Amino acid sequence: MPPYACTLADVRAAAARIKGVVHRTPVMTCDTLDRLAGRRLYFKCENLQKVGAFKYRGATNAVLRLTDAEAARGVVTHSSGNHAQALALAARVRGVPAYIVMPRTAPAVKKAAVEGYGGRVTLCEPNLAAREEAASKLVAKTGATLIPPFDHADVIAGQGTAALELLEDVPALDALITPVGGGGLLAGCTIAAQGVKPGIRVFGAEPSGADDAARSKAACAWQPQTAPNTIADGLLTSTGTLTWPIIRDLVEGVFTVTDDEIRTAMRLVWERMKLIVEPSGAVGVAVTLGAAFKALAGANTVGIVFSGGNVSLDKLYW
């Protein structure tokens, strides 16, 4: 087996490091969803995590891994999503500055949330090159450490703690499904789950309008994200140089679902489980309700990670 960005030992160390700082989120079930899926489903509720998403795990682990001298100079990232809020809060908890580059088109509510957690926001043009350039300038100016949203060993290890907890609570799982965007959650959870329980089957869940991971798996070679178009706005990124090899080698497959299937799954969770999940967090449920996954044999007890619950209550998703 080739070396990967993190190991089970790294995930276990992350779990010890972040204990008491991040929430140990509950695992919930729903008889209605079990019946519709034809399987027993267990949901790891990272929508109830601090900042409303699993991202707080990886951000906290990465910030706590810094030396005192490194931490004093602060941390930098470019993100308009959950990682921006997660890193800002993780930095505030450690008492160090967080410099967050956000596109000028980011919703005001997201900018306000980052600033509310103590992040120092720099706005830039809404493209990757501008974001990376602005982040590089901040690193050069401040000496802060760049902590990207997913392609970082400590971030991957931190995200894997969600699967570690899930398998501690439900050791009988046959399979695990997580959403996949940049791949930090899927990669970390794969390392953790297969390290703890060799033979467990791990799958990615992805919108058909942003299906680079599925295309990459089908081609057995990394494929870039091109013109993504989906309501699952947390899953628009290509997999990374650290996350892709883990997904390539260890993840059994990546299932895709349409936006209408995501809406249906999201509404079912809201109505039946009384839980708010964002579109990106509902893709795993949508997969289990689809014909392709229902045809899969030998996965009778399935864990699903609700990756986040940050939605705009002014937006009518259905």
* pLDDT of 108 above 90: no
DSSP 3-state of 77:
strand
Q: Do 223 and 132 have their domain in common?
A: no
Per residue in 195-223, pLDDT tens?
999 999 999 999 999 999 999 999 999 99
The two beta strands, 40-45 and 27-28, are: antiparallel
Task: Please state the domain count of the chain.
Answer: 2
Q: How many CB atoms lie within 10 A of CB 218?
A: 12
Residue 308: name the closest of 91, 46, 10 by CA: 46
Q: Do 84 and 225 have their domain in common?
A: no
Per residue in 250-287, pLDDT tens?
999 999 999 999 999 999 999 999 999 999 999 999 99
Q: Do 274 and 214 have their domain in common?
A: yes
Reported as type and span, the H/E element at residue 163 is helix 153-169
Q: How far is CA 21 from CA 108, 111, 198, 270, in A?
A: 28, 23, 29, 27
* pLDDT of 1 above 70: no
Mean pLDDT of all residues in 185-200: 98
Q: Per-residue b/e over 6-45, b at no fewer than 16 CB within 10 Å?
A: bbbebbbbbbebbeebbeebebbebeebeebbebbbbbbb
Is 312 domain-assigned? no
Q: Do 25 and 166 have their domain in common?
A: yes
pLDDT of res. 317: 76
Q: Do 121 and 157 have their domain in common?
A: no
pLDDT of res. 106: 80
CB 108 within 8 A of CB 131: no
**Average model confidence (pLDDT) across the chain:** 95
Say which CATH number the domain at 61 has. 3.40.50.1100
Tell me whether residue 115 is exposed, middle or buried, using C-beta atoms within 10 angstroms of its C-beta: 0 to 12, 13 to 18, 19 or more: middle
Q: Do 168 and 134 have their domain in common?
A: no
Q: Do 193 and 280 have their domain in common?
A: yes
Question: Which of 129, 146, 163 is the last residue in one of the domains?
Answer: 146
Q: What phi and psi values does residue 56 have, to the nearest 5 degrees?
A: -65, -25
* pLDDT of 193 above 70: yes
Per residue in 52-107, pLDDT tens?
999 999 999 999 999 999 999 999 999 878 899 999 999 999 999 999 999 888 87
Q: Do 165 and 112 have their domain in common?
A: no
Q: Which residues contact 122 (CB under 8 A, 6 or more apart)?
A: 99, 100, 101, 102, 134, 138
Q: Do 188 and 289 have their domain in common?
A: yes
Q: Do 265 and 158 have their domain in common?
A: yes
- Give CA–CA dist 208/218, Å, rounded: 14
- Give CA–CA dist 166/173, Å, rounded: 9
* Catalytic residue numbers, as ranges: 55, 80
Reported as type and span, the H/E element at residue 121 is strand 120-124
pLDDT of res. 286: 98
Question: Which of 103, 121, 146 is the last residue in one of the domains?
Answer: 146
Question: What is the span of the domain harbouring residue 75?
Answer: 56-146
Q: Do 65 and 100 have their domain in common?
A: yes
Q: Do 111 and 201 have their domain in common?
A: no
Chain-centroid distance, C-alpha 247:
14
